[in-house]
Amino acid sequence: MADAPQSICILGGGFGGLYTALRLSQLPWEGTPPTITLVDCNDRFLFLPLLYELVTDELQTWEIAPPYAELLAGTSVQFRQAGVTGIDLDQQRVNLSDGITLTYDRLVLALGGTTPMDMAPGVADHALAFRTLSDAYQLKERLRLLEASEADKVRVAVVGGGYSGVELACKVAEQLGERGRVRLIERSDMILRTSPDHNREVAQKALSDLGVWVDLETTVDSVAADTISLTFRDQTDILPVDLVLWTVGTRVNEAIADLPLKHNERQQVVVQPTLAAVDCPGVYALGDVADCRDAEGQQVPATAQVALQQADFVGWNIWASLGGGEASAAKNRPELPFRYNHMGEMMTLGTSRATLTGLGLQLDGELAYVARRLTYLYRMPTFSHQVRVGLNWMTKPLQDLLSA
């Protein structure tokens, strides 16, 4: 009787998980290929950097969140929609919320993170996160209700002066226009602390042009139904607010944090440069859940760009560790250490402008907006989806003209 095929289980269908699955499905397996199973609690992949455009109706759900069934059609990857309730590393088993137990020979941890909503009293009850499709839909509906209200001013507080907070503040401020009173709150002494100077300067100007008030060195003490309490240099003020958006922090999924693996203080799994867990052969981690230093020893950030690149290495290293199939086991393909190639950074700063720094370029305004869109189009997960979205973007001006 022939041996059962080996199994690869990938937990999480974000940039790290989905692109690892696609990479594995493209590699030339010899003999009996392994069973590749991708697990995610949602039925759609989310291209997170374009989530802002969903709120402002610049893009549609199908463009930035295609179903996994569509993306994996024609591949050998099996998709299972379920949550992860437990991982047994000794028995090499994963328990899912639908009652199914998966066994594996190689495990990929790519469950991503969540936004912690317990960092100040009232945040969980009265603030909105911005990380999922559901978050975007909730924000869109709240803005619709506020714009339809009879209130003279609409007051919005965006907590967190990183990339997400700045991009969100610009989109919301532009949408609300003259009625908007948008406040960006950052606890450190500058916004976009890790960003290139060019991007930070362009973002600061965009925020100013849009009338966004920036509170630096300010902490949130509490959030209530219609107020927010802020402290600046030992002085506390309670301000009226209609909407609070919380973009601070990332918390590792509990199923990952509870594993008997080496973790850092943020509960990320510490990995070797090959992206294998340091103390558990056959387990790989990438994206938000991984504490990774690359082949050059540099600490890599937990960004979509990094996860995309890591996926190629995880796919290759799993393939190499399994020998590419029984017939090629003697070929001794090595696992490769991850080499991070920083391609630059981009931000959207409204519905027609952006900023871009990378590969020797510094762009801002409408040209950067177009370059950002084209770059993300190229990074979308499958060629067929790229074609559908690209054609829609090209024909949209004509569609808008005909419907006017």
Give per-residue pLDDT as tens, 333-381: 889 999 999 888 999 999 989 999 987 889 999 999 999 999 999 999 9
273 with 225, same domain?
no
Q: Is the pLDDT of residue 3 over 90?
A: no
User: Are residues 150 and 237 both part of a single domain?
Assistant: yes
pTM of the model: 0.92
pLDDT at 1 over 80: no
**38-47, 316-325, 387-396: range with lowest mean pLDDT:** 316-325
The mean pLDDT of the chain is 93
Q: Which among 271, 253, 249 is positioned nearest to 262, based on CA atoms?
A: 271
CATH number at residue 136: 3.50.50.60
Query: In this structure, are residues 337 and 276 in contact, taking their beta carbons and an 8 Å threshold?
Result: no
pLDDT by residue (tens digit) across 25-68?
999 988 889 999 999 999 999 999 999 999 999 999 999 999 99
Q: How far apart are CA 230 and CA 237, in angstroms?
A: 5
Please give the share of the chain, as a percent, with pLDDT higher than 70.
95
pLDDT band, very low/low/confident/very high, at 325 (cuts 50, 70, 90):
low
Task: Say yes or no to pLDDT of 129 above 80.
Answer: yes
Do 362 and 290 share a structural domain? no
Integer CA distances (angstroms), 394 to 70, 88, 351, 387, in order: 22, 48, 17, 10
The answer to whether 107 and 282 have CB atoms below 8 angstroms apart is: yes
Pair (109, 11) in one structural domain: yes
* Percentage of the residues of the chain whose pLDDT score is greater than 90: 86
Question: Is the pLDDT score of 288 beyond 80?
Answer: yes
Domain end: 221, 246, 271, which one? 246
**CA pair distance 112, 17, nearest whole angstrom:** 9
Residue in 222, 213, 163, 217 with CA at minimum distance from that of residue 186: 217
Same domain membership, residue 227 and residue 131? yes
Range of the domain at 371: 345-403
299 and 350 in a single domain? The answer is no
92 and 29 part of one domain: yes
From the list 76, 57, 16, the residue with the least C-alpha distance to 40 is: 16
Residues 176 and 241 in one domain: yes
| Residue ending a domain, choose from 246, 263, 285 | 246
- Which sign, positive or negative, has the C-alpha torsion 307, 329, 87, 69? positive
Do residue 148 and residue 222 come from a single domain?
Answer: yes
The domain total for the chain is 3
173 is a domain residue: yes
Which two three-digit tokens encode residue 33?
């290929």
pLDDT value of residue 399 = 66
Q: Is residue 263 domain-shared with residue 160, that is, in the same domain?
A: no
